Chains A and B, each alone.
Chain A
């Protein structure tokens, strides 16, 4: 038996901006086992429910993560609205859908850039992030923030998007679609990229279920589950297919996410066509009492919100199970038996968000 050694990976690592911390048990260049430890950026946001009332918690949940901040706020608001039996105006539902899809575009483009960076293709990284910048600008125009949007409130949204703004956004997205197909074709076709991704980090369909993988990770293993199909917000009115792949490797995950980029643009177009006129929020009175489980499809996968209220303005418990937390067991499996040089890439293919995971 060869000598075993333990190599610490992270929390600070040149390849990953995310502070993930793993201890890799190595045998020569092969990983035998990966032991995760989290807590480097643990802030205990969930326990703030005892100090902030349920309205202020909207702003706290948004700050769980810088990428899916809109969806965290939305998930929490939807859960509280469900407990309080508040019917959100249809226009607010559509606005939330449009912002969610913009978040997905922004998150997947960010991920494509980081992936390119991880296998050393700096120019491709910059191309992806150049496109992402346009989405961030659209966010700033419509919400006033580039990362934290603060447009959700219990009972609807705070800001409306006028017709001209929506039209200009669709025009930007139409232009972007062309550039996007050029950039993404490099990911899918270029020989150098494929040689790093193809056949690496395989998770079979059975493993994906057993390890509880979610989101693109699960869909790349041939499981057709997308929480948007449960019809929250305005998704029940919109037409879209769940994108899956049955190749189960890193390239398949890349393909699924690229497919979702174009799908998001199509969904935004549909939503802009169908958005009804009307109010954007309803007044909410009283305090929530009861409990609710809420599931959303975030860019990284299914996010799980649990809110337990007791009739006072402070909640008993608010729990967020973020997609990365669910994907870690699957990631640990791909790492077993992997080459050391592939480790950063394999960690990246789950699109990790450690701030989400540690909350």
Chain B
């Protein structure tokens, strides 16, 4: 009998079980801890060495030593985590939470306030 009605069991099971999907966006998605969503910087620890800028495969990060600015083009970033691995001060981290959709590409700039360590 395996030749016929072999799918019936699955159909009946599905009829009485809960759906496999969730009702997003009413129920928000919970991301695991390791999800690579976006790059964050703790600017206090940054020494503006520019290693992240030189190693970024799509060239999304820009470091301006003179103006003490660290900026990232969120829509160019591919969340590969290479900058996080390269950072000598470990001040970069990649955390859950994807970049929100937008109608235009923009760059996020973070300014380092205090003086550079001598």
Interface of B is mostly: loop
Instruction: Flag if B7 contacts A190 (CB, 8 Å).
Output: yes
Asked if B4 and A191 sit within 8 Å, CB to CB, the answer is: yes
Asked if residues A56 and B10 are in contact (CB atoms below 8 Å), the reply is: no
**Of all chain B residues, which has the CB nearest A190?**
B6
Q: How far is the CA of A190 from the CA of B3 in the complex (A)?
A: 5
Residues A127 and B4 in contact, CB atoms below 8 Å apart: no
Q: Is the CB of A59 within 8 A of B34?
A: no
Cross-interface CB contact of B6 among A59, A141, A143, A185, cutoff 8 Å: A185
Q: A186-B7, A189-B6 are in contact. Are A145 and B57 (CB under 8 A)?
A: no
Q: Which residues of A contact B2 (CB under 8 A)?
A: 185, 189
Interface-side segment among B42-50, B65-73, B76-84, B101-109: B76-84
Q: Are the CB atoms of A133 and B80 closer together than 8 Å?
A: no
Min Cβ gap B90→A in Å is: 14
Could you tell me the distance between the alpha carbons of A143 and B80 in the complex, rounded to whole angstroms?
11
> Given known contacts A189-B3, A189-B6, is B57 in contact with A56 (CB within 8 Å)?
yes
B10, B55, B80: the one contacting A150 at CB < 8 Å is: B80
Contact (Cβ within 8 A) B3 A144: no
With A140-B32, A140-B34, A159-B34 in contact, do A123 and B7 touch (Cβ < 8 Å)?
yes
Indicate if the CB atoms of B85 and A153 lie closer than 8 Å. yes
Q: How many A-B residue pairs have C-beta atoms within 8 angstroms? Tell me.
A: 66
Known: A60-B57, A150-B36. A158 touches B81 (CB 8 A): yes
Q: Which residues of A contact B41 (CB under 8 A)?
A: none
Q: How far is the CA of A141 from the CA of B32 in the complex (A)?
A: 5
Q: A153-B85, A189-B6 are in contact. Are A133 and B20 (CB under 8 A)?
A: yes
CB <8 Å contact, A191 and B3: yes
Of residues 143 through 165 on chain A, the ones whose CB sits less than 8 Å from some CB of chain B are 143-145, 148, 150, 153, 158-159
Decide yes or no whether A182 CB sits under 8 A from chain B. yes
CA distance A81 to B55 in the complex (A): 20
Given contacts A60-B57, A158-B81, is CB(A127)–CB(B10) below 8 Å?
yes
Chain B residues within an 8 Å CB radius of A182 = 9-10
Is the C-beta of B11 less than 8 angstroms from some C-beta in chain A?
A: yes
The SS class assigned to the A binding surface is helix
**A160-190 near B? 1/0 per residue, CB < 8 Å:** 0000000000000000000000110110011
In the bound complex, how far is the Cα of B32 from the Cα of A130, in angstroms? 19
A16-56 residues at the B interface, CB under 8 angstroms:
52, 55-56
Contact bitstring A50-70, B, C-beta under 8 A = 1, else 0: 001001100110010000000
Complex-state Cα separation, A130 to B20, whole angstroms = 7
Report if A124 contacts B (CB, 8 A): yes
How far is the CB of B35 from the nearest CB of chain A, in Å? Answer: 5
Task: Find the B residue at minimum CB distance from A191.
Answer: B3
Give the nearest-CB partner of B95 in chain A: A144
B94 in the interface, Cβ–Cβ < 8 Å?
Answer: yes
A159 to B36, CA, bound (A): 12
User: Could you give, for residues 181-215 of chain A, a 1 whenever the CB lies within 8 Å of some chain B CB and a 0 otherwise?
Assistant: 01101100111001000000000000000000000
Q: Nearest-CB distance from B12 to chain A (Å)?
A: 12
- Which B8-22 residues sit within 8 Å CB-CB of chain A? 9-11, 20
Q: Can you name 22 A-B pairs with beta carbons within 8 Å? A: A55-B55, A59-B80, A60-B57, A63-B78, A123-B7, A124-B7, A140-B32, A140-B34, A140-B35, A141-B32, A142-B34, A144-B35, A145-B35, A145-B79, A148-B80, A150-B80, A150-B82, A159-B34, A182-B9, A185-B6, A189-B6, A194-B3
Closest 4 CB pairs of A and B: A144-B34, A144-B36, A189-B2, A56-B57
**A interface residues (Cβ-Cβ under 8 A, vs B):** 52, 55-56, 59-60, 63, 123-124, 127, 130, 133, 140-145, 148, 150, 153, 158-159, 182-183, 185-186, 189-191, 194
